[in-house]
């Protein structure tokens, strides 16, 4: 579960996130939409504990990410918009390193890594240097790293860059399966087609303010029944 209360983040005179309030129950696939510069990535970095807000709070399963980051981060998996991976180690070594940071026991770590590498079709390349990976392979490895410790909340920023249609479909199915086990998925994307097909709930952010929070059906019924792209463009114009 994610709770965001009166969240504010400023950069000098610019307000990137402006009094944001959200409550997202466990097991919900939430899609976070907005044009470039809307404040999505800033919001997600605060949620992941990488930035501190000027005001307000983010609770992950009831734990404040700012005042108790160590405990909150145990429940969080995070894929940034530009995942940083170490080119001079192998994919397997990277997952061993990530699992160590989360305090996983060696047997549990190896079992989880093997399962995820197999799902994301990286088993055969696990012992290659990451520097030899394609962009899509690196993105799939970021998915493995995000879910290695079985997080209860996954914060995923623009995950589809570099993935081909087959791997996008596979990743979507993986995320849906995790939702069914009670994991909360909070994902930003510029792909409105994907958002239209997968989101249980969605939010639209512009200039740091939340313009909409609800289901796609509710959004359509409040307008003229247009598709998400038309509604989004009109709201953020």
What pTM was computed for the model?
A: 0.94
Query: Do 42 and 51 touch, CB atoms closer than 8 A?
Result: yes
131: which 2 tokens? 């520097």
Gap between the Cα atoms of 190 and 204, Å rounded: 11
Cβ count within 10 A of residue 202: 25
Structure tokens at 96: 């061993």
Nearest to 170 by CA among 158, 155, 182, 159: 159
Query: Does residue 62 come out as left (phi exceeding 0), alpha (psi in the -120 to 50 range) or beta?
Result: left
Domains in the chain, CATH or no CATH each: 2-85+153-235 (3.40.50.300)
Percentage of the residues of the chain whose pLDDT score is greater than 70: 99
Query: So what's the pLDDT on residue 223?
Result: 66
Using alpha carbons, select from 219, 159, 162 the residue that is nearest to residue 194: 159
- Rounded Cα gap, residues 41 and 80, in angstroms: 8
The fraction of the chain above a pLDDT of 90, given in percent, is 84
Strand partners, 57: 5
Q: Can you tell me the distance from the alpha carbon of 58 to that of 47, in angstroms, rounded to the nearest whole number?
A: 6
**What's the pLDDT tens digit per position in 57-94?**
999 999 999 999 999 999 999 999 888 899 999 999 99
Per-residue b or e along 113-143, where b marks 16 or more CB atoms closer than 10 Å to that residue's CB? beebbebbebbebbeeebeebeebbbbbbbb
Question: Which stretches of the chain drop beneath a pLDDT of 50?
Answer: none
**Pair 156, 188: CB distance under 8 Å:** yes
pLDDT, tens only, 150-169: 999 999 999 998 899 999 99
């Amino acid at each position: 579960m994610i709770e965001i209360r009166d969240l504010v983040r400023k950069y000098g005179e610019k307000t990137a996130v402006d009094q944001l309030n959200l409550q997202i129950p466990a097991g919900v696939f939430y899609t976070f939409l907005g044009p470039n510069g809307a404040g999505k990535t800033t919001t997600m970095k605060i949620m992941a504990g990488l930035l501190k807000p000027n005001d307000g709070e983010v609770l992950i399963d009831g734990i404040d990410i700012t005042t108790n980051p160590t405990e909150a981060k145990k429940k969080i998996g995070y894929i940034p918009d530009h995942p940083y991976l170490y080119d001079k180690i192998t994919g397997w070594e990277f997952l061993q390193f990530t699992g160590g940071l989360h305090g996983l026991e060696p047997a549990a770590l190896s079992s989880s890594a093997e399962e995820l590498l197999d799902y994301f079709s990286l088993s055969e390349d696990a012992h290659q240097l990451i520097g030899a990976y394609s962009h899509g392979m690196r993105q799939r490895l970021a998915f493995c790293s995000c879910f290695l410790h079985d997080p209860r909340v996954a914060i995923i920023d623009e995950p589809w860059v570099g993935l081909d249609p087959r791997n996008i479909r596979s990743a979507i199915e993986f995320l849906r399966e995790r939702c069914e086990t009670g994991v909360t998925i909070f994902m930003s994307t510029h792909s409105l087609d994907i958002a239209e097909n997968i989101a249980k709930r969605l939010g639209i952010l512009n200039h740091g303010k939340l313009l909409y929070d609800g289901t796609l059906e509710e959004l359509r019924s409040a307008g003229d029944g247009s598709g998400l792209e038309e509604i989004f463009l009109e709201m953020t114009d």
